[in-house]
Structure 1
Amino acid sequence: MNVTIAEKIRRVPKRPGVYLLKDARGKILYVGKARMLASRLRSHFHPGRDEERRHALMMARVADFETIVTDSEVEALILEANFVKEHRPRYNVNLKDDKSYPYIRVTAETFPRVFVTRKIVRDGSRYYGPYTDVQTLRRIMAAIRRIFTIRTCKLQITDESIRDRRHSVCLMYHIGRCGGPCEGHVAKQEYGRAVERVVRFIEGKNTDLVNDLTERMTQLAAKERFEEAAVVRDQIRYVEHFQRRQKVVDARATDRDILAVASEGRDACGVVFTVRDGKMINRQHFYLAGTEEKTSREIMNAFLEQYYLRTDFVPPEIFLSEPPTDEAGIACWLGRRRGRPVTLHIPKRGDKARLMDMCRKNTRLLLDELCQQRSARAPRISAAVEALQRDLGLPNPPIRIEAFDNSNTQGGDPVAAMVVFENGKPRKSEYRKYKVKTVRGIDDYASMAEIVERRIGRLVREGGRMPDLILVDGGKGQLSAATGVLGKFALEDLPVVGLAKHLEEIYRPGIADPQTLPRSSPGLRLLQQVRDEAHRFAVSYHRSLRSKRTVRSKLDDIPGIGEKRRKALLRAFGSLEGVRNASPDALARVDGMNRKAAGTVFSYLNQK
């Protein structure tokens, strides 16, 4: 931890709030909340011995932090959820691709429209969703179009436009699907009541909706407006028909949400069952990112924050598969959003527990489906990679191998190279060349340490993918240099081996004697191929630099031949040898040259 950060931590107030951990470029890596900011930040920068690897990787990238003090923990929770939604930090739990989920939008116009959108505009419109099941969304929208006479056009309808007769009714009015507000055929108040009925239908408040429509039908019939009463009667029938397709899960006509989460490795899934008026009207599922090394309670806490930040309706009762880490804070926040208390409950027995178990099973099935889809898309692991994992006893198959080698001539032009193999095949677009900057003379170990540190340091800073195995060309010395660098970044668990050329012995950290594999082993042949490719790439880079230096120094020494003439000669003849073999006449024909300069070059390069 640098002096600047240590000084800032001493000035952090002991109050609730939100903190942002940032990298050197100011990008937010993590957003957290705390009851006491000073204590929480100290725990980040002074972790204990049992620090998780993901946390260590994050803290290696942290270069600065920012704090925002709030009046209460609940305000900190709200602010944290908004920051996570807005910035989607790499090390927070996030809903995957949540911006692409569709919503039903009810506009804030004089005569509101109801339509599907994937873009939220804060203009007073109401949004319902998100809907992860497009079929459910289509069924709801089709029912709205059939039951309610709400306009579908994009006209800007105002009192002035109606008075000036700027618009005419369309086909939807003539077939009874629109009340014709554009020509004033329906009053603003009556249209507004129709929109509120649509909202109740979307929210699943169908019992209230049917009661309201029944009362209106009775009033119309009493006034002998029988045609209008018949229209309302048909609306009631459609709503009741739609209700019959929904599963009754509670005879008490209650409103509640049922949430469950499941995780496996770096994948996690959250499912929401929506119960309105005792009927299950929707099932939504979300995949979550950033859940590595998170407990199920931490995942549930993040899922609750992110889900209810995106939906307008909060029911009075929420069933959960497990309690969130900040249960009291979440309940208080949701109560504020609802305007009345909200109960978080983990069912243990009876019908409620069976409903919760159904939600859990759905979550696990969806997560298993995601894992199967990923496995089907993933390329099959090559036999050589599997053999290498078996031979070295690695916890995971070394699909991505990064190998390093150095090259120099008696300490001159020291360079290094890194090659990448994925699933046993070279990935040349990711090869890298390095000029050794900090080492003078011949010091293979220091050169190896510098190059590995530059590579790993960049991956840590930029959040790049770490290799499954690091291979260094050499024995104990080169291996020790590489493991020392990994220790600086708290990456001691990252597998690294050294392969010595003479006897093809494999050196591993913490093991005194080298390991020897059979010459016929596919795993050994893969290591040899990777090592030899790194050596070839490093040597070719070194030769290229040395050749350029040799050419440059020979032509630099010729009097009267400046940079432009040197470049023109090398362009014309390709190399120093080509210039040497050219005749004076050929040299004189090059752009920028004359007979005198050509004679000087010919004499200098061909003198004995």
Structure 2
Amino acid sequence: MRTPLELQIQTLPDNPGVYQYYDKDDKILYVGKAKNLRKRVSSYFNKLHESGRTNVMVRKIVSIKHIVVPTETDALLLENNLIKKLQPRYNILLKDDKTYPWICIKREPFSRIFTTRNMVKDGSEYFGPYTSFKTVHTLLDLIKELYQLRTCNYDLSRENINSGKYKVCLEYHIGNCKGPCEGHQALEDYQNNIDAIREILKGNFKESLKDFRTLMKNLASEMKFEEAQRIKDKIEVLENYQSRSTIVNPRISNVDVFSITSDESMGYVNFLQISHGSIIRSHTLEMKKKLEETDEELLELAVVELRERFKLLSKEIIVPFELDLGESVKVTVPQLGDKKQLLELSLRNAKFYRMDQLKQLQIVDPDRHTNRIMAQMQKDLRLSVEPRHIECFDNSNIQGTNPVAACVVFKDGKPSKKDYRHFNIKTVEGPNDFASMEEVVYRRYKRLLDEEQPLPQLIIIDGGKGQLSSALKSLDDLNLRGKIAIIGIAKRLEELFYPGDSIPLYLDKKSETLKVIQQLRNEAHRFGITHHRDKRSKSALTTSVESIPGIGEKTMITLIKHFKSVKRLSQATEKEISDVIGVSKAKKITDFYNPTK
């Protein structure tokens, strides 16, 4: 029997993120980052560590929480924030004076651009934070090479420039600045450059990369390979550059983010707390439905509960749809931008939490997991009973040869391979999928009726309306119409067709019902193709062997069983063949396939 901690580890996602270890008193022990959460966390528990302190910590761990983020960089930034906020006992102590660098566009006439660790609330724009100084320096070098900007800290107000207070410096004379301090450059022209630089810092530097590549090629053609290599290094850094992080974003401060995902019985609400531009808390709340409550009803209740539980005082919340929470709270439903990305990050964590719970349920209580899927399939497919026994049919008719069909059987949502059946088409001449489907469906259920075997609750036909109509004819002939539910699935768009309904049903691409149906269809296709391939091989081998003088039917069957295909037989040595059928017959076969020898 697995412990709750083992279940948590086993069901962690293979995504970048941050993990948090808690002890029996729910006190945080450690915060860490990971490229792959499941692998990193598992590594703590599957070996003895050299550090005694680490072994002591591992023994104290009772529960694990995690937050999934888009990239490793975001995981590093979030880890940094949480360590500062939570001060876990086993983490290195991080002080607030050690922050990551930002690139600042100063709010002033003829804006300066520089790197800083401190953000001043004066209306300036900050981009980052950056976890790599190489990225920061490459960006600033790129900007310096593309645009002529001032580096002085003069107050370039219109009055100061007109009064002739300042004189141009060396940067002007060497061509790095256009001299706005003496009025040699208009403010509008300078600010147009700032607008272009702002796009670069946001990650929109397609044109700049194009210019860099042209420069690199020109330098290489002039045999200036060292300079070309330096440009190439900058291109590589910029191509991997992450323009900004939603994990740490000074443009979004002191707001709470709520998202929801749900199934037929539970709702899962994730909450992210944003303070001073950084995520400082994530929590997912489970809500058991009593009636068929909507996501709007569940989320409204969850927001009130979580704000009260965590004493949240923010004046703005970000949610996926409009909620009525009174006039004291601003409700934002973002459509674009950083707030939309934060909402998507929250929803991603809610979905991962839901999947984790379902995985744990599947391990701990497989019967309950099966019951849930069966109930969901009954609801999604509009069936009168749960589809505990499902059969799926597929025709295999490649290039019109050796037509066969396959029937695969799922019981309680899982393959029942002992019940799989192959069919060789007997009554249909030539390639005719519709007639073949009619034949195999009739034969299958005629036999089940004759042998008084249990019938399925659902039949799935791999094909569109035509295949479904053919199968229905057989059910009519057997007086089974209406006694067994039957649907067809079209391959291209995963359309589900019902008898007598011209409008197909489309299921959510991520729904478990569709996944079970796709698994059935794929298994029927695999099973049918395997049989078809075997039949073609045996047919080809039989035809080939029959044409060899002195080889009779009995020898032919022996060769079929042993070599499986004509190719293998033709490539076999005389010794290999003689070991199966004797020396004299083996020589006849090798002479037939290798007449030149």
Q: With structure 1 as the length reference, what TM-score do the two structures score?
A: 0.36
Does 1 or 2 have the higher relative contact order (CA < 8 Å, sep 6+)? 1
